[in-house]
Amino acid sequence: MPLFKRKPFALAEKPKDLKPNELVFQVRFTKEIFRDYSEYLRRTNLYRHRVWTCKLTGKNYLTYEEALVSEKKAAEEVQKFPEELVAPVLRDVQFSMLSLKDLGDAVAQKLQGCLSEGSELYGRKNNHVYSCKIERVVKDGEKTRYEVAWLDKYERLPENTAIDEEDLIRCKLRFSRAFLKSFIRESTYRSIPWVLHEKLAKKHGIPTDPPDDLKDQFFMQDGVVVVNRKRKKSEDREAKENGFQDPYEIGREDKLKAQSIRYPIDDLLVQYTEFDKQLAERPPPCREFNVPMECVGDHLMVWDFCTSFGRLLHLSPFSLEDFERAVCQKGSNIVLITECHSSLLRFLLKDNSEYFIAVQKKRPKLKITLITWTEYLSDFLELTGTVELSNHVATIKRGHYGLLDIQAKLAILRELVCRVLETEYFKEKLDEDIEKQYALAATRREEILEESRKKREDHLKIKSNGKEATKGHGNSSDTGSDNHLRENGDMPSSNGKQTSPSKHSLENRFTFLYLKFFWNLDGNFMMSVSYFPLFCLLLLPV
């Protein structure tokens, strides 16, 4: 039985005093019966939500029907579990307090090191290795010997031979640990402690009463293990009196107070944040539709599909108001209605479906036009086999499509959209578009990475140029100090010889004399006649 929020879900009971001729609503895959249509609708909507978990495989986010199919397949696989290992595994599972992962690992490790009757493995005989099967375990004091039957077809060996454990070669388990976990889930009706189904436990002689160390926490009620709530409540009361509270309980309470919202959700369920305080109040939902309220869902669905996949259907975009007016009109040659039907029917003909084969038999030349679209639509409605839709075929063939009521028009369009969604051609095109989007996103991501790499390189280049400029500035200051030393004479070279004055040194000397003799200490400009000839000598070319 599929799990709802990881817990067993009870099906609805059959109504009492049910009359033989009473009209009721029945869920197809659970066989539940409801008198009230609203209750039936709520239950079917719940089954369609992806909130169910397969009990055997642990797969999440399934619909109820998908979980049932998954459990059926897993149950068929579980039946292949080796018969000789069922009883030993179930004994280890009964009333175990381990998690499923730890329990599966412990059982697998034990089975890999256990040699039991019926196990098929390899044994050594005459310095050769042959396949064999353990028939009987013989304990002789502290030593254990195994009577095996040789399974080799090509060698003539004795039928049964008693050999030691050292002569046996253990094989790898014939099943995976995931398969073992599925077997554990199938065999139990609750976890921690894991409790076997009563019939299964009695079949293999496994006790069904909880052990002494668990009787304080669990007890049997109507053949089912139940948690001792009184003991838990008393412990919680004592903890609160002593001022102690379980941190797990605190976290759970906080989590319940601030329930996390799983997106996407309906726009009306989105809560205002502190950044939305300046926004005005939400406008009331619009209910002024020309179509009946029970058809608004189909009306919006058809319009959204045709506008979202307009390029694939070769349809130009159109507004919801235009589509509403076209559906409500009584004319039979409304362009928008004609184009919508023709596009959907052409799409169905592109797929090698049952509709394509049926139409091809009637009309060798397949061409949907503004005149012949009603003929193709009539063939489609006859092929669906739905009484509600087939009743309108005669009216459409007479050319009076516009006389159909709004419910019938939207029901026909809804059926066309559903059939298009099921075609392989549509799925292939949708996959191609998704791959293009992925490729575009990957290209954009590479461009962003390339831009960030270039920015990083430019930043490092600017940083390195700044360091070189700082280093060059330091060298220039050293050069200035050297020039200052050369002002009053020649500088000795590295080998100790005097170097001749250069033009650069003379220019520096000129600057020094200019500052020294033409600007006195008081800041007054003056010309010293005694130093004027020396200044003129400095102006001569070298």
DSSP state of 174: S
Band of pLDDT at residue 242, cut at 50, 70 and 90:
low
Whether pLDDT at 234 is above 60: no
Lowest mean pLDDT among 170-184, 219-233, 478-492: 478-492
Q: Residue 538: name the closest of 501, 490, 498 by CA.
A: 501
What is the C-alpha to C-alpha distance for residues 29 and 46, in angstroms, rounded to an integer?
Answer: 13
Tokens at residue 311, please?
């390029």
What is the mean pLDDT of the segment spanning 129-146? 83
Tokens at residue 96, please?
């175990």
Predicted pLDDT at 523: 44
Predicted pLDDT at 24: 92
Band of pLDDT at residue 474, cut at 50, 70 and 90:
low
Extents of the domains making up the chain: 3-76, 79-226, 294-422, 503-539
Predicted pLDDT at 447: 92
The residues with which 140 forms a beta bridge, in sequence order, are 143
What is the C-alpha to C-alpha distance for residues 468 and 471, in angstroms, rounded to an integer?
Answer: 5
Predicted pLDDT at 470: 63
When comparing pLDDT for 278 and 341, which is higher?
341
Whether pLDDT at 109 is above 90: no
Helix axes 354-362, 335-350, angle to 10 degrees: 100
Q: Residue 501: name the closest of 460, 542, 531, 540 by CA.
A: 542
Work out the number of other CB atoms within 10 angstroms of the CB of residue 198.
Answer: 12
Whether pLDDT at 8 is above 50: yes
What is the mean pLDDT of the segment spanning 93-103? 87
Burial 213-222 (b: 16+ CB within 10 A, else e): eeeeebeeee
CA torsion 461-464-465-467 (nearest 10°) is 160
Band of pLDDT at residue 486, cut at 50, 70 and 90:
very low
| Radius of gyration of the CA atoms of the chain, in A | 45
Lowest mean pLDDT among 7-16, 170-179, 231-240, 529-538: 529-538
Predicted pLDDT at 468: 67
pLDDT tens per residue, range 302-340 = 999 999 988 888 899 999 999 999 999 888 788 899 999
What is the C-alpha to C-alpha distance for residues 248 and 254, in angstroms, rounded to an integer?
Answer: 10
Going from the C-alpha of 240 to that of each of 231, 234, 246, 360, the distances in angstroms are: 14, 10, 9, 78
CB under 8 Å to 403, separation ≥6 — which residues? 330, 332, 395
Q: Number of helices and strands (H, E) in the chain?
A: 20, 14
Tokens at residue 295, please?
């058809």
Whether pLDDT at 43 is above 90: yes
Highest mean pLDDT among 270-284, 427-441, 463-477, 508-522: 427-441
Lowest mean pLDDT among 28-32, 105-109, 524-528: 524-528
Exposed / middle / buried, residue 412 (Cβ in 10 Å: 0-12, 13-18, 19+): buried
| Main-chain dihedrals φ then ψ at residue 358, nearest 5 degrees | -65, -40
Predicted pLDDT at 526: 45
Whether pLDDT at 5 is above 70: yes
Whether pLDDT at 209 is above 50: yes
Whether pLDDT at 540 is above 60: no
Task: Give a three-class secondary structure readout of 258-323.
Answer: CCCCCCCCCHHHCCCCHHHCCCCCCCCCCCCCCCCHHHHHHHHHHHHHHHHCHHHHCCCCCCHHHH
Predicted pLDDT at 541: 52
Mean pLDDT of the chain: 77
Q: Residue 399: name the closest of 333, 338, 346 by CA.
A: 333
The residues with which 134 forms a beta bridge, in sequence order, are 148
What is the mean pLDDT of the segment spanning 481-504? 46
Whether pLDDT at 239 is above 80: no
HSE value, Cβ hemisphere, 13 Å, CA-based, for 63: 11
Tokens at residue 225, please?
């293990």
Residue type, position 180, single letter: L
Tokens at residue 362, please?
């009637």
When comparing pLDDT for 26 and 476, which is higher?
26
Query: 90 and 196 in contact (C-beta within 8 Å)?
Result: yes
What is the mean pLDDT of the segment spanning 112-118? 72
Question: What CATH number matches the domain at 79-226, 3.30.465.10, 2.30.30.140, 2.160.10.10, 3.90.1150.10?
Answer: 2.30.30.140
Whether pLDDT at 63 is above 90: yes
Band of pLDDT at residue 500, cut at 50, 70 and 90:
very low
What is the mean pLDDT of the segment spanning 167-176? 76
SS3 505: helix
* Percentage of the chain lying above the pLDDT 90 cut: 12
Band of pLDDT at residue 248, cut at 50, 70 and 90:
very low
Lowest mean pLDDT among 10-19, 76-85, 329-338, 476-485: 476-485
Predicted pLDDT at 255: 52
Predicted pLDDT at 194: 87
Tokens at residue 534, please?
């020396």
Whether pLDDT at 359 is above 80: no
